[in-house]
Amino acid sequence: MTISVTDAVAMLLPLLMLCDVFSVWHYRGTFHRRSVKLLLPGSVVGVVIGTLFFGFFIANQRILEVGVGFVALLFVGFRVVSQRWSSALQSRHPGAAEGVFMGAVSGFASTIAHAGGPPATIYLLPQHLGRDLFVGTTVIFFAALNWLKLGPFIFLGLLNPTNLTVVAMLAPLTLLGVRLGIFLNRRFSDVWFSRVVYAVLVATGLRLLW
């Protein structure tokens, strides 16, 4: 809300990739290979569409703000619906085509707002993967997706020297953020922590739309 959408999205990508290093190392052998193989090809299509969207509207920050605000509200809406209809979501038997399609939707949402989690989750939940396998699959998929976005971001000129300077300043804080997350996770209720996070996300989404 204080800088342009393009700068905000651009600065987040290298920071997310830095966090991926630690996550991928931990889950490097624990992920559902079939799901990753289906989600990734679709995500390439989604990244291409997201890149075209950025390229077309890069000079119109208002359109990008509305797009990001809309995605933020959709993200929260998905969380609410998935909690209430979790049994229905998990009772489905998604095929390969749905995996590719959800990968494409995830690639698009991730490109414009780093919010590709819900589409991937819709596909992965019915797989009834164990907790570690589920988390590992999302970690590996989004780590690969972040690398796919790197080329288009450079092509669009989003990773300019000014943004990279800010990223270099923020990078050491990612480790502090991880440690803080572990601290909070051990001491606060997941329910209330999620409520606070999603409340802030809703407020941000509405502010961007307004």
Are 99 and 120 contacting, i.e. CB atoms less than 8 angstroms apart? no
Are 42 and 102 contacting, i.e. CB atoms less than 8 angstroms apart? yes
Q: DSSP assignment, residue 116? A: -
User: How many Å separate Cα 106 from the centre of its chain?
Assistant: 8
Are 93 and 126 contacting, i.e. CB atoms less than 8 angstroms apart? yes
Give percent of the chain with pLDDT exceeding 70. Answer: 90
- What count of residues does the chain have? 210
Count of CB atoms within 10 A of residue 133's CB? 17
Digit-coded pLDDT (tens) for 169-193: 999 888 787 777 667 766 777 677 7
Are 59 and 5 contacting, i.e. CB atoms less than 8 angstroms apart? no
Query: What pLDDT, on a 0 to 100 scale, did the predictor assign at position 89?
Result: 61
